Structure 1
Amino acid sequence: MLRLFRNLRNSHNQNSGIRKYLFYAIGEIILVVLGILIALQIDNWNEDRINRQKEVILLNQLKREFNGALAQLGDKIEQRNQIMRSSKWLLNLIDSSERNTSDSVSYHLKRTVFVPTLNVNTNDFFDARDVGLIRNDSLRNLLAEWPAQAEQLIEEEQGWSRYRDLYLVPFLFEHYQARNLYNAVQTDLAMMRTVFLDKDKTFQVMIGNSKTTPAVTELLKTPVFEDHLAYSIMINNIANIQSYTLGEHIEKILEQINTSIR
């Protein structure tokens, strides 16, 4: 009987040792797993922190770019307004019996040869930026629409540029003193400030007017001249409508950028 109790006790002690070992082993495994999970979590926190820093840098870069684009857009709108006002002034002069001096005609005529063009990056906009860093879904959607929105305006600008180079300028060279036009462009500081990157810069060498008197009366009597003016008003009107729409889109982008930076 004593041997039986001794055997039972030894068996119990052995089982108890195994249980203790199993508990210890399981505890070790749990500690290792917890250590791995904590390490992964720390890595994720660090990665999130780094990505957040990169996102803020990207957002500030985009903010500068779109603020610049918005200011530039305002200049282009004003240029087109001046083109349209001068084109309309010349049309009114054609329709009236008055004949102003060549200086007045040169002043308005030279404004019709400006070509406002928005200088923005649309072709590789996403290639140069990791937009995936941006967590704001609304901002990402607005940025995705930006290139197509800008291209619509650029197409109108290119249409006016081609027309001016192919039809308007050759016509003016044939029917008006080009030197006077170039000189009028140089002296139009209000218009040039919307063109120059540095608003305080001016031309260093002035052209001066020709001694030949421009044939203003003959120019105004040429039927195709009013067609050129009419086209100038129409296409620049369209471009400005596109510009206002693009400006609203930029303002939405800036609003979402400011929300994301806070």
Structure 2
Amino acid sequence: MIKIFKNLRQKLLQENKTVGYLKYAIGEIVLVVIGILIALQVNNWNTARKNNQSEVAYLKNLKNDLIKQKQDLKTYKIIERQYFANGEKIKNLYSETQGFEKLDSLFIWLNSMMTRITFRSSNTTFTELSSSGNLNLIHNDALKKNLVAYYQQLERFTSITEKNNTNLVDGTFDKNIFPLTIFGDQYLSNSVKLVINMDSLSQKKMDYSHFKPYISAQLKLPENQLKILNMVNLRIFISYAHVQFYDQIDRTTTALIDSINEEIKAISNHD
């Protein structure tokens, strides 16, 4: 084809047909431009197709992270509600006798409330998108905005739970309540043993019975009773607040999963 155009151009020049040559030259330029435009269009189409494939892959990974987040939220809520329930049991135990007479039960419930769980965000894919600059692969601006807001919310709550654990459990609850209880494997609830896998932990069985008269005497002091009740009420309040936030996150997570499913469907239909 190129040889044909070359021969035609030479023939026109030899025959001194200037007008015809100009027409030919213009036509040749037009053909080149059209070829370039077609090549660019094909390249843009291939790029768009690859971007769509990457977008769908990221959306699916985001969806998997969100599904895991919902599973984690379920576990977090179970544990926080257990703290709440054990706190109510301690309060009921006190109300029955205006004191703490059933030490074995008290120790189990107090020990469980001295444990803690810190909220963690399942944000692997979002972190990758943000750090790599690929967040713009998500073309749905509303979805992208909601994802950014969602993970900012999770980051804030992670900070809140860490502070609550540090200030309430580590700094205050354990410091004040630990001296008024016996912390041992026989006084750990089944849920706590399951979390820390007690079967793999070898502990020498200890006889703590000779400490019980001392602790019983300490628990008869109004100042210590008030200390326990105040700490339990605070622990209940914090756990209740955490559960409320977990419920809110759970609803938002479900809505995001639905939005991602709709976006993946829309991209697939467009292709």
Measure, in 2, the Cα distance between the counterparts of 1:220 and 1:62. Answer: 54
Say whether the 8 Å CA contact 1:83–1:232 is kept in structure 2.
Answer: yes
Say whether the 8 Å CA contact 2:121–2:158 is kept in structure 1.
Answer: no
Measure, in 1, the Cα distance between the counterparts of 2:193 and 2:64. Answer: 24
Give 1:157's aligned residue. 161
How far the C-alpha of 1:102 sits from its partner, in A, is: 2.8
Structure 1 or 2: more helix by fraction: 2
Does 2:145 correspond to 1:141?
yes
Q: Counterparts of 1:55-66 in structure 2 under 5 Å? A: 55-66=55-66
Measure, in 1, the Cα distance between the counterparts of 2:133 and 2:121. Answer: 15
In terms of Rg, which structure is larger? 1
Query: Which amino acid counterpart does residue 102 of structure 1 have in structure 2?
Result: L
Give 1:219's aligned residue. 219
Q: Report Cα offsets for 1:89-116 as digits up to 9, x if no partner.
A: 1012122217553332222222212212
Matched pairs, number: 238
Distance verdict in 2 for CA 1:191–1:256, change over 3 Å: farther
Q: Counterparts of 1:36-115 in structure 2 under 5 Å? A: 36-97=36-97, 101-115=102-116
Distance verdict in 2 for CA 1:23–1:37, change over 3 Å: same
Identity over aligned residues, as a percent? 23
How far the C-alpha of 1:122 sits from its partner, in A, is: 6.4
Distance verdict in 2 for CA 1:192–1:258, change over 3 Å: farther
Query: Which amino acid counterpart does residue 66 of structure 1 have in structure 2?
Result: L
Query: Which amino acid counterpart does residue 232 of structure 1 have in structure 2?
Result: R
Instruction: Say which SS state the counterpart of residue 55 (structure 1) adopts.
Output: helix
Say whether the 8 Å CA contact 1:77–1:240 is kept in structure 2.
Answer: yes
Give 1:30's aligned residue. 30
Question: Unmatched 5+ residue regions in structure 1?
Answer: 1-15
Query: Which amino acid counterpart does residue 68 of structure 2 have in structure 1?
Result: G
Distance verdict in 2 for CA 1:261–1:202, change over 3 Å: farther
Query: Which amino acid counterpart does residue 111 of structure 1 have in structure 2?
Result: S
Query: Which amino acid counterpart does residue 236 of structure 1 have in structure 2?
Result: S
Measure, in 2, the Cα distance between the counterparts of 1:259 and 1:184. Answer: 50
Say whether the 8 Å CA contact 2:89–2:109 is kept in structure 1.
Answer: yes
Give 1:254's aligned residue. 257
Say whether the 8 Å CA contact 1:79–1:191 is kept in structure 2.
Answer: no
Query: Which amino acid counterpart does residue 27 of structure 2 have in structure 1?
Result: G
Say whether the 8 Å CA contact 1:122–1:150 is kept in structure 2.
Answer: no
Distance verdict in 2 for CA 1:129–1:238, change over 3 Å: farther
How far the C-alpha of 1:250 sits from its partner, in A, is: 1.4
Query: Which amino acid counterpart does residue 255 of structure 2 have in structure 1?
Result: K
Query: Which amino acid counterpart does residue 103 of structure 2 have in structure 1?
Result: S
Instruction: Say which SS state the counterpart of residue 231 (structure 2) adopts.
Output: helix
Instruction: Say which SS state the counterpart of residue 131 (structure 2) adopts.
Output: coil
Query: Which amino acid counterpart does residue 52 of structure 1 have in structure 2?
Result: N
Measure, in 2, the Cα distance between the counterparts of 1:81 and 1:206. Answer: 29
Measure, in 1, the Cα distance between the counterparts of 2:172 and 2:199. Answer: 27
Say whether the 8 Å CA contact 1:105–1:216 is kept in structure 2.
Answer: no
* TM-score scaled by length of structure 1: 0.80
Q: Report Cα offsets for 1:130-188 as digits up to 9, x if no partner.
A: 2111122222011110232113322331233111111111223311112x3x5433xx3
Say whether the 8 Å CA contact 2:110–2:181 is kept in structure 1.
Answer: no
Give 1:233's aligned residue. 236
Give 1:173's aligned residue. 178
Instruction: Say which SS state the counterpart of residue 203 (structure 1) adopts.
Output: helix
Question: Unmatched 5+ residue regions in structure 2?
Answer: 1-15, 266-271
Query: Which amino acid counterpart does residue 105 of structure 1 have in structure 2?
Result: L
Instruction: Say which SS state the counterpart of residue 127 (structure 1) adopts.
Output: helix
